Amino acid sequence: GDSVTQMEGPVTLSEEAFLTINCTYTATGYPSLFWYVQYPGEGLQLLLKATKADDKGSNKGFEATYRKETTSFHLEKGSVQVSDSAVYFCALNWPGGTSYGKLTFGQGTILTVHP
């Protein structure tokens, strides 16, 4: 079945450092890929998404490119802020069929940014 693997955390960075959180997936075909973020005490929020190979999703300075050759969707940000401290989830789903709407999540990566 489908699966998503994220790099293990927690990740601790200083403000303005470069961030990479790795995400790889296993699936038959080409699913849609997502990054969700969960701030303390809040629900998950969609951060960015990509629906086909070579698409780049971007939002709030974060970027991720859908790489079908490496089945990856790594999250990057050039300069993190303290306010980026949160849990980040990589996820996939299928745009149609019986699995429509079902998100398969990675285990989440805790990011802590220090001033």
Partner 1 sequence: GAVVSQHPSWVICKSGTSVKIECRSLDFQATTMFWYRQFPKQSLMLMATSNEGSKATYEQGVEKDKFLINHASLTLSTLTVTSAHPEDSSFYICSARESDRGYGYTFGSGTRLTVV
- Using CB under 8 A as the binding rule, whether residue 66 contacts partner 1 is answered as no
- Using CB under 8 A as the binding rule, whether residue 102 contacts partner 1 is answered as yes
- Using CB under 8 A as the binding rule, whether residue 45 contacts partner 1 is answered as yes
- Using CB under 8 A as the binding rule, whether residue 79 contacts partner 1 is answered as no
**Residue 99 DSSP label:** G
Determine the straight-line distance between the first and last CA of the chain, rounded to whole angstroms: 41
- What are the DSSP calls for 19-82, one per residue? EEE-EEEE-SS--EEEEEEE-TTS-EEEEEEE-STT-EEEETTEEEE-BTTTTB--EEESS--G
- Using CB under 8 A as the binding rule, whether residue 44 contacts partner 1 is answered as yes
- Using CB under 8 A as the binding rule, whether residue 109 contacts partner 1 is answered as no
Distance CA 10, CA 27 (A): 26
Stretch that binds partner 1, among 16-24, 55-63, 67-75, 105-113 (CB under 8 A): 105-113
User: How many residues are present in the chain?
Assistant: 115
**Which residues in 12-41 contact partner 1 (CB under 8 A)?**
32, 34, 36, 41
**Residue 94 DSSP label:** B
Which one, 17 or 72, has the nearer CB to partner 1?
72
Would you tell me which residues interact with partner 1 (CB under 8 A)? Answer: 4, 32, 34, 36, 41-46, 49, 89, 93, 101-108
